[in-house]
Structure 1
């Protein structure tokens, strides 16, 4: 089940969605956002994600020197009205790969700002990744 989720998340950037990459503090953070309806219902449920016309999904993978990092993530999403909602990340591990996914909601179309604090290990300084994405609710 998780293998299917990861495969679907990896294939999404090949379509209309573009995976983004941010380099910060020796880390490479791959991030992507998409409408939750792109996931099959059983895959979303298996990962603990909610599907719906106003639900999106953000995915992140943290790497150092080309290898996955099992980091601690804390994040939030803010809409254009400055309404902020915390992101509750779910850790997914498949073999050596480690991914983090979280749901977010948006009542209407608009630009969303994401901020994710990443701690790669207990002794590492916290790194902050910021990105934004236009959200288009399913009609």
Structure 2
């Protein structure tokens, strides 16, 4: 599983280099002493082995969102939830799954990508009693 975490991080960064207009290499929000890193990309950026290990569907019509919560330089457990909305306001609930490995905790979810369009994401990250919300827009493209 450590290989999976490393690959997901690498996929996010390399995908950003390969498609700068599609994926930003690093996205983060800082809430006091908690930093939330997040990224979204098409699941075809994952190799079949990594997608299988992460229990993700690898398809040109599936996106992946990856969220990591850090406090004091260490991964922090959190409750992560969210939605993704298209231009017609059709909303899909994101079902995040926690993946825990030595030295890493991250949350992954998938969503459909049927056509090229800009989507609005709302991600809620709860640590203790505090809930922080991240809103961002992302132009998405079905994969090859």
Structure 1 length-normalised TM: 0.90
Could you say which residue in structure 2 is the equivalent of 1:89? 96
Q: Which residue of 2 aligns with 1:133?
A: 138
Q: Does 1:4 align with 2:3?
A: yes
Tell me whether 12-21 or 34-43 shows the greater mean CA deviation. 12-21
Give the corresponding residue for 2:73: 66
Cα RMSD for the two superposed structures: 1.4
Instruction: Tell me the equivalent position of 2:22.
Output: none
**2:110 is matched with which residue: 103, 106, 124?**
103
In the TM superposition, what is the alpha-carbon distance from 1:15 to its structure 2 partner? 2.1
Partner Cα distance (2:102, 2:95) in 1: 23
- Displacement of 1:73: 0.8
After TM superposition, the structure 1 stretch with the greater mean CA deviation from structure 2, 45-54 or 8-17, is: 8-17
1:7-45: CA deviation from partner (whole Å, max 9, x where unpaired): 111112432411201112532110011110111122212
Aligned length: 136
Aligned twin of 1:14: 13
For residue 36 of structure 1, what is the aligned residue in structure 2? Answer: 43
Contact 1:92 1:99 in 2 (8 A): yes
| Offset of residue 4 of structure 1 | 2.4
Q: Distance in 2 between matches of 1:87 and 1:55?
A: 12
